[in-house]
Structures are given as structure tokens and as C-alpha cells.
Amino acid sequence: MIRIFQIALRNLMRYKRRTLLTSLLITLGLLMVILFSGLAGSFKAMMVGQITDSNLAQMQIHKKGYVSSIDTMPLNLTLDSKGYKNVEKILKENPDVQAYAPRIKLSAMLSNFTETTNIRLNAIDPEKEIKVCPNVSERMKFSGSQIPDVLLKPGEIIIPEKLAAGMKIKIGDPVVLVANNKDGSVNGLNFTVAGIIESVLGPQGKEGYMHIKDAQSLLRMEKPEVIEVALRIKEFEKLDGVYKKLESSLAKFTNKKGKPAFEIHTWEELSPFSNIARMIDFMAITMKLIMIAIVLISILNVMMMSVYERVREIGTMSAIGTAPGKIMGLFLAEGLSLGLISTLAGNIIGIFGIYILNIYKIRFAFGRMDDLLLSPTISFSELVWVSAIVLMVSVFASLQPAYKASKMEPVDALGHV
Amino acid sequence: MALVKIDNVSKTYQTGEVQVKALHDVNLSIDEASFVTFVGPSGSGKTTMLNLIGCLDKPTKGKIFVGEEQVDAFDRRQRAAFRGSTLGFIFQAFNLFPVLTAYENVEYPLVMIKNESISKRKEMVLKVLESVGMLDQKDKFPDQLSGGQKQRVAVARALVTQPKLVMADEPTANLDKKSAVNVIRLMRAMRDEFKTTFIFSTHDPGVMEEAEVIHTLEDGRLLDPKHSPTFVQEEKK
């Protein structure tokens, strides 16, 4: 076997320029994939992190039917105490769940006593919310430069930046919130503006924050109710698996009609960024397909030329008794060696490229998020996977020429001019 | 004792719509450890005869026996295996592998066909390289050797597997007169040393003189050995 690879390598070195050019082409293809995967993967992970850790959370549980009518923020699709306890029990039993937080989402009228406008509010339990969305406070501005120990106290409200600017509301100003409860009656409460929040992409970025207890009072909920339960899991990579387990656990709770009482959604189903994330994945796949095409065409071309140039040599091998399988093995080893050399070069240059990108920090802005720093990384498993693709395609591309070589009749091949 | 027996063999090639009969009902027997040459003008059927005996091609009609085996009945894979185990080949253009040194070229059949151990390979290769007088050139690549030296390496490669029969199609055609005679004498010496049967083709009268048995082919027919071939006389002139 070693001798076969030794002969294969020497044959590759016979045509140095051709081998070098082909290897360079494959190396560049691989480099392109590694750099793109590193950059795109880093961008995607950062954006997903921003979205899930700052306001959306990784998963959300609602009463069945809530998400389909989320734009109207219905108050009649709430989880009552019993329903919330059932959800809590399921979440506590699942070892993959790190934290969860109850929320109420509502629409209200905000008045600064001279002007009134509508506002969407996210009513949270601050202690629990910070565990589910650890970056929630990063977009908030408070009276001091420090983030307060308790994000939000009862009687306080955090309002969106644009709304605050439009209504000339400052931190510390009093405001009034007026909201309809689910019976249609109206209630109003006084609040103090405790902070301003910068918006992120999507309608949820225009939401303000208030304490969940205030929301329950404002909406005159006689017993505590929640609209959604946001949750965070221990390992984000296990999202799909945990989602399936929770979905199955929640499915045992049914409503009076015998249909599921709850629904669970991952961030992908709730955020428009998931389409961008899918597009990034699609582009990564496209890059890999381009790389496969480069490897396939270049190795097939080189190997076919190699076979046509060495017909007499193949005839000699066959004449002196080399089995067709071994002749095929020689040419497959040649294609594989070419792929292997290029893969090694591509990996080394690719890793070095990612290292360089990390040294020359790439900063960018996305939506309202400025000065985002890309930290391209590529996992070992991704490198192994991409390398395995190149090697498999190298062997696949060599198959036809190798088969052709092995099938040559020695008497014809020896007479070839 | 006969090593090769050719029984009423004919070979016809189809070239487009034209049929070319390369051999006509040839009957022949070649003894073990003999030094045999086929002579004749171009197109007389020498190469076809060697290809058939060497299991590189199959006859259109007739039977060919090499040792105990009826080789014309072999399929492709069997022929390859038989060539590797029983036959050795020397080619007109030497056909050494350019990426391998003289040593590695000789070693090639032992690695790729015989699967011999490294120590056994080394012993066998060095012995045969010494026999052909190429031991001091063993680390040179073919393009660093002269024509005569290349053919010596080719002889060593053909003999290293200790075949019963070595086929050589015009082994001296690409060599100058002196080298040609040297190579033929080397082959003969190898026959004496290893008791291997050598069958070669030539149209060089100087080389023919070195053969022990001369078979003359003309238009695909084997002439009577007692008959003095006009071809040889003409070539000698």
C-alpha cells in the first residue's frame, strides 16, 4: 500500500506544473469554504446570540393558537395558574433546561400628560428574565452609567428609544399607561420611566418593558396569568432535541376539545432573522457545492489526461501481470494523493486565514447594532467534514479514469502511439 | 520436453470492414530452457505470435499450451495472473517506469504481483541486478541510463520473478549493434543461469545468429525450419 502511494506521488510529481495548478485550485476552493464557514458561522452565531439572549429567548411556550394571532396580542390566550404550573413542572423535569421566565405581552396607551401614543410592552419577572435573556440589559440605558441590581422594580417602565425621543420623555419622568383588559374594560396606572431601550430588528425591538406584577394589576387579572414562558437551555446545540422532548412532554396536556393545550416554538419560528440564518446556511452549502465541482472537474481532468498520456505504461503494467484491481488502485491513489495534498494545504492556509481575520478584527453594523465584532472560528468537526468531502470527491473523480486504465487490453495499450 | 505447444493456431484481426489474417494454422513446439527466435519481415506475424504465447491476446482458432495450462481458454483475469506468475516480458522500447529507479523497476513485479516480503525482495532484486551487471546503476532513474543499460534493467525485471518463459518482442530494435549483441548474449547467459526459456523476435541477422532455434514467419505462415528463409539471406546481404 505504501509503495502504491509512493508511485502515485512520484507520478504526480512527473507533471509538476499541472499538479501544482490543480492542487492550487482545490486549495483555493477549500480555503474559500473554510473562510466563508468561519465568517458566516461567526456572523450567524453572533446574530442568533443577540436575538435570543437580548429579548426573544431560545424557545417560547404559549397557549395553543397564540403565535398565529401574535400581532393582535390577544389577552384571552393566557396560561392560568394551573397551566403555568403544568408548564413549570415539565421545564423543571427536563435537565437540559437552564432557566425559564414568565411574560405577559400587551398593548397599551402611553401618556406623558401632554401626548399619548400606543406602546407594545413586555411584562417580565426581572430576576427570571435576566437568566433567560442575559443580554437584555445591554440595550438599555439607565439614569446612572451602571446597570441597576434589579433591572426593573414594580411601578417602573422602560420605554423604546424612538418613542422616548418622539414624546420627549426622559429617565425619571412620570407616565401613565392605559390598557384594555380581556373583558374590554379600561384601566390606567402611573409609572416612572426607569430606562430607555434601543431597538433591534423586528417589531419586538419596539417593545418596552414593565414588571409582570404591574401588568397583572393593569390588566386586572384576579389570579396570576402569563402569556408566554420564555426559556433557555444549557447547550444551544441541543436546541432541536430539547424542543422535540418538550413538545412531546407538553402534548400530554389537552384542552376541553381534546387538542393540545400548549404550543412551543424555537427562536427560528419566531424571528425573521431565521430566514437570513437559513440563507447563510444555503450560501455555505452553495460554497461547498462549488468546491465539490472544482475538485471533481479538476481531478477528473488531471486523471483522464494522466491515463491518456500513460497508455503504454498501463499496457506494460498489465502485460507483466499487474491485476486490473491494482492498476485501478494506482490511479485511485494518485487522485486521492492529489486531494490529500490539496486538503492539507487548504486546511493549513484556511486556519491561518481565520487566525489573520481574528488579528485584524472585523467590525460591522447590523440594524441598530453598531460595532459588532466578528470572531471567525471553524470547528474541528467542520474541518474534518469539509476535508472528508474533498477526499471522497477526489476518489470519486478518479474512479472513471482508473476504471478505464484497469480495463485496457495490454496488447492494445502496448501498441498505442 | 515441450514448454510451449501451439496447435493449429490462426489469428485474424478485424480492421474496420477489412479482415487481416495475421497467422495461418501454425503448429509449433518450443522446448524448456531453449533460446528461440522468430524472424521475418515486418507484418509477418512475429509480434502476433509472441502476443499469443505471452497471453496478451487470444487466438481466433486453435489451442496454445504453456506448461500444463491451455492459455487460450483463460479469461482476462486468469491471463493477467498467469503472466505474472509464469511469464516475463522484455519490450522493444524497454518500457521501464520512468518514476522508478532501476532497483524499483526490477522490484515492481515482486511488490505488485508477487507480494514478496521486503527482505526477500531485496535479496532477489540485488541478485538479478548483479547478474545483468547493473548493480552499480541501481539507484538511477531510466532517463539517466543508456539504451543498453535500460534493456539490461528490463531483462532483470523480466527475470526477477523467476518465470518459466521470457518473451521479448524486438528487444534489440532500439539499440546499436554492439549493445544489441550484448543484450542478446546477456539473455542467453541468463537462460544458462536460470534455465528460463527465452522467445524473442528480431529481423536483425546479427542477433539471429545468437539464437539456438530460428523460426521463420512469412505472411503469417511458419516456414519449414530446414528451409533457408529468403528474408534472412536478404537481410544478411
How far is the C-alpha of A76 from the C-alpha of A110, rounded, in Å?
22
| Same domain (yes/no): A349, A207 | no
A309 at interface of B, judged by CB pairs closer than 8 A: no
Residue A267 lies in a domain: no
- Assess if residue A45 is contained within a domain: yes
Rounded Cα distance between A321 and A300, Å, is: 26
What angle (nearest 5°) sits at the alpha carbon of residue B203, between those of residues A410 and B141? 50
Same domain, A188 and A337: no
Could you identify the residue written with the cell 397599551?
A108
Q: How far is CA B84 from CA A322, B31, B56, B115, in A?
A: 7, 21, 12, 11
What confidence category does residue B226 fall into, taking pLDDT thresholds of 50, 70 and 90?
A: low
pLDDT, tens digit (0-9, with 9 covering 90-100), for A217-246: 998 888 888 999 999 999 988 999 999 999
Q: Are residues A41 and A83 in the same domain?
A: no
What is the pLDDT at residue B140?
Answer: 93
**Do A288 and A335 belong together in one domain?**
yes
Chain A contact probe: residue of B11, B20, B56, B89 with most A CBs at under 10 A: B56
Return the residue of A nearest to B113 by Cα.
A322
Structural domain that includes position B68: 2-95+162-236
- Strands B35-39 and A369-374, by their bridges, are unpaired
Rounded CA-CA distance A242/B171 in Å is 76
Q: Looking at the domain assignment, is residue A63 inside a domain? A: no
Q: Are A101 and A128 in contact (CB under 8 A)?
A: yes
Please indicate, yes or no, whether residues A200 and A90 belong to a single structural domain of this protein. Answer: yes
CATH code, domain with B40: 3.40.50.300
Residues A371-393 have a mean pLDDT of: 87
Contact at 8 Å (CB) between A121 and A186?
no
Q: State the DSSP string of A273-307.
A: HHHHHHHHHHHHHHHHHHHHHHHHHHHHHHHHHHH
Per-residue model confidence (pLDDT) at position B126: 92
Rounded distance between C-alpha atoms, residue B184 and residue B192, angstroms: 12
Chain B residues whose CB is inside 8 A of the A320 CB are 83-84, 88-89, 108-109, 113, 157-158
Same domain for A252 and A284, yes or no, is: no
Task: Clarify whether residues A254 and A336 are in a common domain.
Answer: no
The residue of chain A nearest to residue B99, with distances taken between CA atoms, is A10
Interface A-B: count of C-beta contacts within 8 A:
66
Per-residue pLDDT band for B237 (boundaries 50, 70, 90) equals very low
Q: pLDDT, tens digit, for every residue of A88-147? A: 999 999 999 999 999 999 999 999 888 898 898 999 999 999 999 988 887 788 877 667
Domain final residue pick, A260, A289, A317: A260
Do residues A161 and A286 both lie within one domain?
no
* Confidence at A202, pLDDT banded by 50, 70, 90: very low
Q: Cβ of A312: how many Cβ atoms within 10 Å?
A: 17
Lowest-pLDDT choice from A201-210, A249-258, A383-392, B203-212: A201-210
Using CB atoms within 10 A of its CB, is residue A149 exposed (0-12), middle (13-18) or buried (19+)?
A: exposed
DSSP A55: I
* pLDDT for the residue numbered A369: 64
Is some CB atom of chain A closer than 8 A to the CB atom of B111?
yes
Residue ranges of E strands in A132-206: 140-141, 156-160, 174-180, 186-197
DSSP codes of every residue in A304-350: HHHHHHTHHHHHHHHHTT--HHHHHHHHHHHHHHHHHHHHHHHHHHH
Residues A250 and A118 in one domain: yes
Name the percent of chain B lying above pLDDT 90.
Answer: 13
Q: What is the mean pLDDT of residues A330-345?
A: 93
Stated length of chain B? 237
In this structure, the answer to whether residues A230 and A334 fall within a common structural domain is no
Report the 10 Å Cβ neighbour count for B41: 16
**Hey, what's the torsion of the CAs at B28, B31, B34, B39, to 10 degrees?**
0
Q: For A320, which of B77, B84, B93 is closest by C-beta distance?
A: B84
Among A61, A59, A67, A107, residue whose Cα is nearest residue A84: A61
User: How many whole angstroms separate alpha carbon A199 and alpha carbon B107?
Assistant: 76
pLDDT in tens, B74-115: 888 888 889 988 899 988 888 899 999 999 999 999 988 888
Identify whether B138 is part of a domain. no
Q: How much is the average pLDDT of A294-303?
A: 88
Q: How many domains does chain A have?
A: 2
Last residue of a domain, one of A207, A233, A260: A260
What's the whole-number mean pLDDT along residues A4-24?
Answer: 89
Domain interval for residue A346:
2-50+275-414
pTM for this prediction:
0.75
Whether A156 is in a domain gets the answer yes
Q: Positive or negative, the Cα torsion across A98, A102, A107, A110?
A: negative
Together in a domain, A283 and A385: yes
Tell me if B88 and A317 make a contact (CB, 8 A cut-off).
Answer: no
pLDDT in tens, B122-157: 999 998 888 888 889 899 999 999 888 898 899 889
CA distances from B66 to A364, B58, B97 (A): 80, 13, 28
With 0-12 / 13-18 / 19 or more C-beta atoms within 10 angstroms meaning exposed / middle / buried, residue A371 is exposed
